[in-house]
Structure 1
Amino acid sequence: MSRFVSVAAGLAVACTLTGCSGTTPGTPEPSASSTALSTDPSVPKITSPLPPALIQGDPCAALTSAQVNGLFSKTPTRSPAAKDTGVAKSCSWGDDSRGSLVGIQFVYAWKRGLADVYATQGRGFLKVLAPVQGYPVVAYGPSDERSKGMCNVAVGIADNAAFEADVQFASSAVGQGDPCDDARKVADLAVTTLKAGA
Structure 2
Amino acid sequence: MRTLLLLAVIALAATGCGDSTPAASAGSVGDTTQHGAPRVRTPLDSAQAAKKPCGLLSEPQLKTLDMVGVQGVEEGTPTGPICSWDDTEGDSGQHVTFTFTTGNGNGGLDRVYELKSTFQLFELQAPLQDYPALLNAPTDDRRKGICGFVVGITDSQILTTTVKMRTAPKPAPRVVEPCQVAREAADLALTSIREQS
TM-score category by the smaller chain? 0.7 to 0.9
Residue 64 of structure 2 aligns with which residue?
Answer: 70
Q: Which has the larger radius of gyration?
A: 2
C-alpha separation between the residues in 2 aligned to 1:54 and 1:40?
28
**Distance of 2:191 and 2:109 partners within structure 1:** 19
Partner of 1:181: 180
Deviation at 1:63, TM superposition (A): 1.6
Q: Which runs of 5+ in 2 are unaligned?
A: 18-26
**Among candidates 44, 48, 53, match of residue 38 of structure 2:** 44
Letter in 1 for 2:71: T
Q: Note the residue ranges of structure 1 that are not aligned, 5 or more in a row.
A: 1-14
- Relative to the length of structure 1, the TM-score reads 0.77
> Which residue is 2:83 aligned to?
91
CA drift of 1:175 comes to 7.7
Give percent identity, aligned residues only. 28
Q: Find the aligned partners of 1:174 and 1:120 in 2 and give their Cα distance.
A: 34
Shift, 1:179, TM fit:
1.6
Residues 101 and 89 of structure 1: CA distance in aligned 2, closer, same or farther (over 3 Å): same
Considering only aligned residues, what root-mean-square deviation do their CA atoms show, in Å? 2.7
Counterparts of 1:193 and 1:52, CA distance in 2: 10
Deviation sequence 1:39-84 (CA, Å, 0-9, x none): 33520101111125345421111122211232125421322xx211
| CA drift at 1:178 | 3.2
Paired with 2:87 and 2:50, the residues of 1 have a C-alpha distance of 27
1:114 partnered with 2:109? yes
Matching of residue 101 in structure 1 with residue 95 in structure 2: yes
Distance in 1 between residues matched to 2:46 and 2:72, nearest whole Å: 25
Deviations along 1:75-118, whole A, 9 cap, x unmatched?
Answer: 21322xx2112112111112263353111111114723111222
Q: Distance in 1 between matches of 2:94 and 2:129?
A: 26
Moved segments of 4+, more than 3 Å:
30-39, 173-178
Residue 194 of structure 1: aligned partner: 193
Q: Hey, what's the Cα distance between the residues in 2 that align with 1:122 and 1:111?
A: 22
Amino acid at match of 2:51: G
